[in-house]
Amino acid sequence: MLSAAILGAACAPKGPQAIPADSEVEAKVEKVLKGMTLEEKAGQLVQLNISVLEDDTREAIDPAKLDRIIGQYKVGSILNVMNDHCHSREVTAAMVRQIQEKSMEKIGIPCIYGLDMIHGASYLSDGSLYPQEINLAATFNREYPRLMGRAMAYETRAAQVPWVFSPVMDLGRDPRWPRIWESYGEDPYLQAQMAREETVAIQGENPNRIDLEHAAVSIKHFMGYGVPVSGKDRTPAIIAENDLREKFFAPFLACFRAGALTAMVNSASINGIPTHCNALLLSGWVKEQLGWDGLLVTDWADIDNLFNRDHVAADKHEAVAMGINAGIDMIMDPYDPECCNVIIDLVKSGRIPESRLNDAVRRVLRLKVRLGLFDKPNWDYAYPEFASEKFARESYAAALESEVLLKNNGILPLKENASILVTGPNANSLRTLNGGWSYTWQGSADDYVPQYNTILEALQRRFPKVTYAPGVKYAGEDWQAEDASGIAAAVTAARGADVIVACIGENTYCETPGNMDDLNLSAKQKELVKKLAATGKPVVLILNEGRPRLIGDIEPLAAAVVDVMLPSNFGADALAALLSGDENFSGKLPFTYSKHINALHTYDYKVSEHRETMAGSYNYDAVMDVQWPFGFGLSYTEFAYANLKVEAGEFKAGDVLKVSVDVSNVGSRAGKEAVLLYSSDLVASLIPDVKRLRGFEKISLEPGETKTVCFELPASDLAFVGADGRWRLEEGDFRLSCGGQAAMVRCTETKVWETPNI
Ligand code: BGC
């Protein structure tokens, strides 16, 4: 509470500005602020869900409700949650138009509407979807988050909405957590690189002047949300302070520096402090240390969670005061406009200082000015690329590069004339290819876009002899419910086939409903695979799942394994092209695929954790006993690495290391290869990670072709956060490795940074 009080006053940026201040923007903000009443100010800090405005059809606004919410309470923001139905672009645009007209009439300040666009225009029934972030991470190709971000912003704007709650950058370091597929995987560098691309693509190059084809991001969920001790969503995390700064903050830092205009706060807690009242992180790390003048919005009803769930506040008044004084600028209080009156009371009684109120209001106004909403609360602008072929082609290309070949004993590519049994609960489902955040919150692609192909349909189009027997089906409301009554029929069908393509994994879920108690793939699906394999026919496992469900006992039964994760509407077409050999695989895992329930690792473990190194002899290339390691993925061709070189053998903290490696395609077909550069700090004052990803490039190679891949690695990237919380680079040896090659370099000075971030 002490730190909250100290940091709770107006957080005038003290550090270097993360987003350069623009005098015109600031002048407009001050002018509007001056004319506002306390009621109007309080309203700006509140965000409600669209359901409080909808009429009974849920396709239009109820004018009386609009009068109450905007006219009386003067609420400044609305968000859209699609639990069981989804609006078209036209309906969304018409609703927003009405809200804006009322807002301008009653308050003279535009409302800001935000949407959960997670993998493209997730919440428009007629927009474009791309593979989920976890798939884009598997491409190791920065082009795809860029393309998706651009399309997402463009189509969202086309629906008259200027704000998306994306990108997600929670490090997916615990496979039990149900949201790991929403982000770019387990590694801070990969996550930071991809999220930064997406942020700039969504917002454009100038965060002070967002044009009509771009939108504001809300980077989320700040921070440490992805590693709950229990593995369950929205439950407490325990994170060492150095890890918090060095790993969890990294993607947020990259995005704040790239101009991210808003951030959404982690719904749970770190080390006992609910993030929504963590003044040190919200006001300290972000607003003061980065000089960031953007807006912090809560997650869903999370101020209420301070008293309802976490019991750090006695009642709503205390919770609102704690949150706002800690640095929250906008409260997503989905159904309760009375929150406005709570803020008014708290300001009148002095529990929220007026300076903090005005600072928060400035941040809301600044966002609206930067988005051009005062000039154009609505806009007439043509969006010819909405739902275009171009976006569809990009989505397909991303899916192609994201599906990961994990095992192949030679059965793939499938023979043209093979008779193929397609089976499994994921074989004929579009919903499972998309996952959650697809048309509705929990995912309902089959209801909205039946025109796209399921895996069964795509294989039927590509191969002449395809039969189908699902074996196991998803059954009913509960995403974990399964009906295994078809196993016998599938086994009979398998006897007449040359090869079995078993599409297994998970039904769709999102957030807390995705919690579960056993990371193993379901017993019924395992039984299906075991019985199919017992026929003696080769089994190709297609994993269609949001997190790596354990398959240690059935993997040895498979002739080939492909993890398609959540590749979206064109994922099945991409898979058919890959299985047939029309295209080549190039995806690599952006997470560790664990094998044992008591051995859930990430790739950057401590050397001592490895069995081979327990005796003290370090092996930096050792891999834990996992199913498949981070960065693993096969191809139909083969690549050979040679000549890893570092330009200078010694370096100092301010240097940039120039690293190069030759990569050759030594197989017989063209292919793409993600080239991954790692470093290992051999001796450090805190136990170093065995290795860390420091660079990646995706290249294309014809058979027989060699390319030299060059990395420019700032020496400061090799620094770590020490026991005192400060960044340090220590004198000593580092090992750089890439594709089985390694080179040693030596840092000749120790440097400790005075600033909290490098
Ligand atoms: C989720 C967020 C989402 C918000 C608004 C929350 O439950 O955690 O990711 O942006 O709802 O829909």
- From 299, 302, 304, 604, the catalytic residue: 299
Is the per-residue pLDDT at 15 higher than 70? Answer: no
Top mutation candidate among 118, 165, 298, 509 for ligand 1, by most atoms within 8 Å of CB? 165
Q: What is the DSSP string of 201-244?
A: HHH-S-TTS--TT--B-EEEEETTTT--TTSSTT--B---HHHI
- Give the model's confidence band at 266: pLDDT under 50 very low, under 70 low, under 90 confident, else very high: very high
Top mutation candidate among 511, 512, 515 for ligand 1, by most atoms within 8 Å of CB? 511
**Nearest atom within ligand 1 for CA of residue 267:** 8
Q: Tens digits of per-residue pLDDT, 309-361?
A: 999 999 999 999 999 999 999 999 999 999 999 999 999 999 999 999 999 99
Instruction: Report how far residue 480's alpha carbon sits from residue 579's, in angstroms, rounded to the nearest whole number.
Output: 28
Give me the helix-helix angle, 354-370 and 23-34, nearest 10°: 130
Q: Residue 536 — φ and ψ, nearest 5°?
A: 85, -5
Q: Which residue has the tokens 């666009």?
A: 117
Q: Tell me if 203 sits within 8 A of 218, measured CB to CB.
A: no
**Nearest atom within ligand 1 for CA of residue 264:** 10
Spacing, Cα 79 to ligand 1 middle (Å): 10
Q: Lowest mean pLDDT: which of 51-60, 247-256, 301-310, 365-374?
A: 51-60
165 lines ligand 1 (CB under 6 A): yes
Q: Lowest mean pLDDT: which of 78-87, 566-575, 648-657?
A: 78-87
- Give the model's confidence band at 83: pLDDT under 50 very low, under 70 low, under 90 confident, else very high: confident
pLDDT of 707 reads: 98
Q: Lowest mean pLDDT: which of 2-16, 71-85, 683-697?
A: 2-16
Structure tokens at 130: 């791309």
81 lines ligand 1 (CB under 6 A): yes
Q: How many CA atoms lie within 13 A of 54 on its CB side?
A: 18
pLDDT of 584 reads: 98
Q: Where are the alpha helices (DSSP H) in 295-450?
A: 302-308, 316-326, 339-348, 354-370, 389-402, 430-434, 445-448
Q: Tens digits of per-residue pLDDT, 182-214?
A: 999 999 999 999 999 999 999 999 999 999 999
pLDDT of 182 reads: 98
Can you say whether residue 725 is alpha, beta or left, with left for phi > 0 and alpha for psi between -120 and 50 degrees? Answer: left
51 lines ligand 1 (CB under 6 A): no
Instruction: Report how far residue 66's alpha carbon sits from residue 97's, in angstroms, rounded to the nearest whole number.
Output: 12
**Nearest atom within ligand 1 for CA of residue 80:** 12
Is the per-residue pLDDT at 593 higher than 50? Answer: yes
How far apart, in Å, do the first and last CA atoms of the chain sit?
29
Instruction: Report how far residue 605's alpha carbon sits from residue 626's, in angstroms, rounded to the nearest whole number.
Output: 12
Structure tokens at 366: 């600044």
Higher pLDDT among residues 621 and 120, named by residue:
120
Number of H helices, E strands in the chain: 22, 29
Spacing, Cα 300 to ligand 1 middle (Å): 6
Residue type, 463: F
Instruction: Report how far residue 503's alpha carbon sits from residue 542's, in angstroms, rounded to the nearest whole number.
Output: 5
Burial 232-246 (b: 16+ CB within 10 A, else e): bbbebbebeebbbbb
359 lines ligand 1 (CB under 6 A): no
Q: Tell me if 66 sits within 8 A of 48, measured CB to CB.
A: no
170 lines ligand 1 (CB under 6 A): no
Task: List the residue whose alpha carbon is closest to atom 11 of ligand 1.
Answer: 300
Spacing, Cα 524 to ligand 1 middle (Å): 32
- Give the model's confidence band at 610: pLDDT under 50 very low, under 70 low, under 90 confident, else very high: confident
- Give the model's confidence band at 619: pLDDT under 50 very low, under 70 low, under 90 confident, else very high: confident
Predicted TM-score of the model (pTM): 0.97
Burial 295-313 (b: 16+ CB within 10 A, else e): bbbbbbbbbbbbbeebebb
301 lines ligand 1 (CB under 6 A): no
Q: What is the 3-state secondary structure (H, E, C) of 49-116?
A: EHHHCECCCCCCECHHHHHHHHHHCCCCEEEECCCCCCCCHHHHHHHHHHHHHHHHHHCCCCCEEEEC
Q: Tens digits of per-residue pLDDT, 722-752?
A: 999 999 999 999 999 999 999 999 999 999 9
pLDDT of 753 reads: 97
Is the per-residue pLDDT at 615 higher than 60? Answer: no
743 lines ligand 1 (CB under 6 A): no
Query: Which residues share a beta bridge with 720?
Result: 728
Query: Which of the 8 DSSP states describes residue 608?
Result: G
pLDDT of 80 reads: 86
Name the 3-class secondary structure at 721: strand
pLDDT of 614 reads: 55
pLDDT of 11 reads: 47
Is the per-residue pLDDT at 12 higher than 80? Answer: no
Spacing, Cα 336 to ligand 1 middle (Å): 16
Is the per-residue pLDDT at 697 higher than 80? Answer: yes
Q: What percent of the chain has pLDDT above 90? A: 93
Is the per-residue pLDDT at 676 higher than 80? Answer: yes
Residue 299 annotated among the catalytic residues of the structure: yes
**Nearest atom within ligand 1 for CA of residue 441:** 12
Q: Tens digits of per-residue pLDDT, 531-586?
A: 999 999 999 999 999 999 999 999 999 999 999 999 999 999 999 999 999 999 99
396 lines ligand 1 (CB under 6 A): no
Spacing, Cα 114 to ligand 1 middle (Å): 11
Instruction: Report how far residue 472's alpha carbon sits from residue 526's, in angstroms, rounded to the nearest whole number.
Output: 10
**Nearest atom within ligand 1 for CA of residue 234:** 8
166 lines ligand 1 (CB under 6 A): no
Q: Residue 400 — φ and ψ, nearest 5°?
A: -55, -45
pLDDT of 613 reads: 58
Query: Which of the 8 DSSP states describes residue 414?
Result: P
Q: Tell me if 106 sits within 8 A of 424, measured CB to CB.
A: no
Q: Beta strand pairing status for 262-265 and 218-222?
A: parallel
Is the per-residue pLDDT at 289 higher than 90? Answer: yes
In terms of Cβ atoms closer than 10 Å to its own Cβ (0-12, 13-18, 19+), residue 688 is: buried
300 lines ligand 1 (CB under 6 A): yes
Spacing, Cα 578 to ligand 1 middle (Å): 34
116 lines ligand 1 (CB under 6 A): yes
pLDDT of 7 reads: 41
- Give the model's confidence band at 505: pLDDT under 50 very low, under 70 low, under 90 confident, else very high: very high
**CA distances in angstroms from 351 to 180, 214, 324, 348, 562, listed in the order given:** 38, 38, 10, 8, 57
Spacing, Cα 233 to ligand 1 middle (Å): 12
Q: Which of 195, 211, 201, 220 is nearest to 151 (CA)?
A: 201
Q: Residue 679 — φ and ψ, nearest 5°?
A: -125, 150
Is the per-residue pLDDT at 262 higher than 70? Answer: yes
Domains of the chain with CATH codes: 4-173+181-370 (3.20.20.300), 394-580 (3.40.50.1700), 638-752 (2.60.40.10)
Spacing, Cα 299 to ligand 1 middle (Å): 6
pLDDT of 476 reads: 79
Spacing, Cα 267 to ligand 1 middle (Å): 9
573 lines ligand 1 (CB under 6 A): no
pLDDT of 616 reads: 58
Task: List the residue whose alpha carbon is closest to atom 7 of ligand 1.
Answer: 300
299 lines ligand 1 (CB under 6 A): yes
Instruction: Report how far residue 45's alpha carbon sits from residue 74's, in angstroms, rounded to the nearest whole number.
Output: 10
Q: Tens digits of per-residue pLDDT, 396-451?
A: 999 999 999 999 999 999 999 999 999 999 999 999 999 999 999 999 999 899 99
Q: In whole numbers, what is the pLDDT of the chain averaged over residues? A: 95
